[in-house]
Structure 1
Amino acid sequence: MRRRLKPGEYAEVRAFVAVAEACSFRRAAAELGLTPSTLSHAIRAFEDRLGLRLLNRTTRAVTVTEAGARLLQDLRPALALLDEAVAAAGIPEDAPVGTVRLAAPRLAIQMLVGPAIRRLAHECPHVTLDVRTVEWPGDLTDGFDLGIQYGNEVAQDMVAVALTKPFTTAVVGSPGYFADHPAPFHPSDLVRHRCIGCLSGPGGALYRWAFERDGETVVLDVDGTLVTDDADLMLDAAIGGVGLWHGIDQVVQPMIDDGLLLRVLADWSPSYPGFHLYYAAGAPLSPAVRAVVDALRGKD
């Protein structure tokens, strides 16, 4: 017959699991907010009660014995359930609870996810948002609950919700750059300018600059002294006079307002769908996922 733990021994159980997983009394003590000496006494008392040696201790290392390893394997799921039960005890019955995984490009994270996190922390404190930077659209098969991408890149079998207005492209350069180079009036003039190249897409191909006006479309391969896939570096380089940058109006407008950048070829700048939130169609959204959707859309 297996021995049952008494209520006062649960602290010792947690102490054993912490030390066994950390392989260190010092690290486990810091995690539990105890002194290493207190933790050592708790483990020794636990071993005495069980009549088993659970840990091997030397001056250099702490390792788990065979009996300790078996006990650790049995205790992990039980403690996880205990932690969930304790955490849920103070949560209202209808409150959203759980972890929601979101994949989004870095620009979308900067523009949209920050405000949503603040809203969630205030209104849904029991929802954890796990955000990963994913530059190119996916089908959410990697375990993500939600994704953000440009609207024209979302698969048609997904539910898509617009989060921003359409974006308009913007070609910009610094006042210092234009002091030495005449402003282009037609996209073809860009062949005489230094342009900052953007590596785009999963294969890292060089992005071709596209322009439209009055039914005419111009697509160009540009040259310059910088090629990168880092949007922040492109923007810093444009402000520093390295060359012209082909970006998004919502990103560069504050720099234009501050006089750091000047815009050219505005009448040739096409628009395309802004960021959309997307998720798999069919299955109903959990309360936690719905809470994240509402936070990203700015809904109370």
Structure 2
Amino acid sequence: MKRDLFDGVAVFVEVARRRSFTAAARELGVTPAAVSWTVKQLEARAGAPLLARTTRDVALTEAGRAFLDHAASGAAAVNAGLEAVQALGGRPAGRLRLNIPSVAQGLLEPLIPEFCAAHPEIELELHVEDRLVNIVEDGFDAGVRIGEMIAADMVAVRLTPPSTFCIAGSPDYFARHGRPERPEDLKAHVCVNFRQSARGGLYRWEFEDGGRDIEVAVTGPLIVNTNTLMLSACVAGVGLAYSMTDLIAPLIEAGLLETVLGPFMPENPGLFLYFPSRDQVAPKLRAFIDFATARLR
């Protein structure tokens, strides 16, 4: 085996993942010039350009895409091996990257100061987005999602107990528009729509009626892609919102929101932290799991 066979592979994978030499250099803790030089040396050994560079963008060439298909899994395997070695030391340290939906943001925010104080050697990175991502391909250590949205090949750890969904509106909204009594009444109401990803469809509100599942396509003047925006618009009286009851409980207690259609609302399985199935869990991730489950439960 050639001595320099693996030189630059991890750097190339990072540039390809982020489509940026600067962002890759920041992640790797080196200069952009060092990243560029390393990739050029790898291309020289490969005998073909792997990245197409412009003044504004970095794109994979055909050879680069073919190389990435094989190199990414290899780099992930090497990283998993390093984490397994580090796990033997048992010291929670390093960068912990978590992908979380906006519905979990309010639950995790109160935990952050205490966790950072308890584990000063862990650099916690939280990326909030509601589109479904491949946490392995996007370089995350773990993610948080509602249980039913997690792939079967992932390890899932419960963070919150099961709860219900709810339809919420401001007192001002109900004073102006009245209250729906059945799911089909929502056709005559103003609602805040939710789109999970830029190319995805609008979320259809789900209900249960006598054991029968019902979906309603609602309409309104606003479409959002985060739970935070949806609830702020709901509080402002823009329209009704569909959310998890646990998340809006403080707004209900404060008198800012009221709920309707309770008998028709389905249960949700709660929030779970999930990560790829591995023989050993890195100490940094294990530290977060133990900390979060102890407090959220």
Question: If the TM-score is normalised by the length of the shorter chain, which range does it land in?
Answer: 0.5 to 0.7
Kept after mapping to 1: 8 A contact 2:101/2:129 = yes
Q: State the partner residue of 2:123.
A: 128
Identity of aligned residues (%): 36
SS in 2 for 1:197: strand
Q: State the partner residue of 1:50.
A: none
Kept after mapping to 1: 8 A contact 2:166/2:262 = yes
Write the distance in 2 (CA, Å) between the matches of 1:172 and 1:289. Answer: 35
Question: Residues 40-55 of structure 1 correspond to what in structure 2 (within 5 A)?
Answer: none
- Deviation of 1:282 (Å): 2.6
Q: State the partner residue of 2:193.
A: 197
In the alignment, structure 1 segments of 5+ residues that lack a partner are 1-20, 23-92
Kept after mapping to 2: 8 A contact 1:169/1:269 = yes
| Correspondent of 1:285 among 265, 273, 281 | 281
Residue correspondences, number:
210
- Deviation of 1:118 (Å): 2.6
| Correspondent of 1:262 among 258, 261, 272 | 258
Q: State the partner residue of 1:163.
A: 159
CA displacement 1:36-82 (0-9 Å, x = unmatched): xxxxxxxxxxxxxxxxxxxxxxxxxxxxxxxxxxxxxxxxxxxxxxx
Q: State the partner residue of 2:236.
A: 240
Q: State the partner residue of 1:56.
A: none
Q: Who wins on radius of gyration, i.e. which is larger? A: 1
Q: State the partner residue of 1:272.
A: 268
- Deviation of 1:94 (Å): 5.2
TM-score, length basis structure 2: 0.64
Write the distance in 2 (CA, Å) between the matches of 1:99 and 1:158. Answer: 21
| Correspondent of 2:170 among 157, 168, 174 | 174
Kept after mapping to 1: 8 A contact 2:103/2:228 = no
Q: Which deviates more, 115-124 or 152-161?
A: 115-124
Write the distance in 2 (CA, Å) between the matches of 1:102 and 1:147. Answer: 5
Kept after mapping to 2: 8 A contact 1:146/1:279 = yes
Q: State the partner residue of 1:105.
A: 101
CA displacement 1:86-117 (0-9 Å, x = unmatched): xxxxxxx75422222211113323312x3443
Compared CA separation, residues 283 and 236, structure 1 to 2 (3 A): same
Which residue identity does 1:240 align to in structure 2? A
Write the distance in 1 (CA, Å) between the matches of 2:283 and 2:277. Answer: 16
Which residue identity does 1:195 align to in structure 2? C
Compared CA separation, residues 210 and 256, structure 1 to 2 (3 A): same
- Deviation of 1:200 (Å): 2.4
Kept after mapping to 2: 8 A contact 1:197/1:226 = yes
Write the distance in 1 (CA, Å) between the matches of 2:203 and 2:120. Answer: 41
Task: Calculate the aligned-residue CA RMSD, in Å.
Answer: 2.4
Write the distance in 2 (CA, Å) between the matches of 1:220 and 1:212. Answer: 11
Compared CA separation, residues 242 and 130, structure 1 to 2 (3 A): closer
Write the distance in 1 (CA, Å) between the matches of 2:155 and 2:198. Answer: 23
Which residue identity does 2:224 align to in structure 1? T
In the alignment, structure 2 segments of 5+ residues that lack a partner are 1-30, 33-88
- Deviation of 1:142 (Å): 2.3
TM-score, length basis structure 1: 0.64
